[in-house]
Amino acid sequence: MSKPINVTEADFEELVENSSIPVMVDFWADWCGPCKMIAPTLDQLAEEYDGKVLFAKVDVDSNPNLSVKFFVRSIPMNVIFKDGKPVDQIVGAVGKQHFEEKLKAVV
């Protein structure tokens, strides 16, 4: 069973930018209610897209440089990376179908 992995400033390049498959990075914080609302959906998608998309989580409070680098101004914010570059983003608590539409474009 695949689950989102926690990524930090120290391993972001290795795990996200150098990934051989697309990566969806969830920028979140523990105090963020909408972030907690979408977490079960992201867990479910991680299982369904196992081997096709890597799901990662970045705590914005612990990794402020990544938040600045990717212009995270509101959370939850999910950024989809392909070939090491951000190609799409989803801001806010959206439904599973919206995530799937965005993922289908990169898989």
Q: Determine whether 32 is an active site residue.
A: yes
Contact yes or no for 64/102 (Cβ under 8 A):
no
CATH code of 56's domain: 3.40.30.10
User: For the chain, what is the radius of gyration of the CA atoms?
Assistant: 12
Catalytic residue chosen out of the listed positions 7, 16, 25, 35: 35
Instruction: Give yes or no: 83 in active site.
Output: no
Provide the pLDDT for residue 10. Answer: 97
Give per-residue burial for 11-42: e unless 16+ CB within 10 Å, then b: ebeebbeebeebbbbbbbeeebeebeebbebb
How much is the pLDDT for 2?
A: 82
Q: Which of 32, 53, 56, 60 is catalytic?
A: 32
Residue span of the structural domain in which 23 resides: 5-104
Indicate the number of domains in the chain. 1
Residue 107 burial by Cβ neighbours in a 10 Å radius (0-12, 13-18, 19+): exposed
Residue 17, pLDDT score: 97
The pLDDT score that the predictor gives to residue 1 is 53
pLDDT truncated to tens, each residue of the chain (107 aa)? Answer: 589 999 999 999 999 999 999 999 999 999 999 999 999 999 999 999 999 999 999 999 999 999 999 999 999 999 999 999 999 999 999 999 999 999 999 99
The rounded distance, in Å, linking the Cα atoms of 17 and 73 is 21
pLDDT at 77: 98
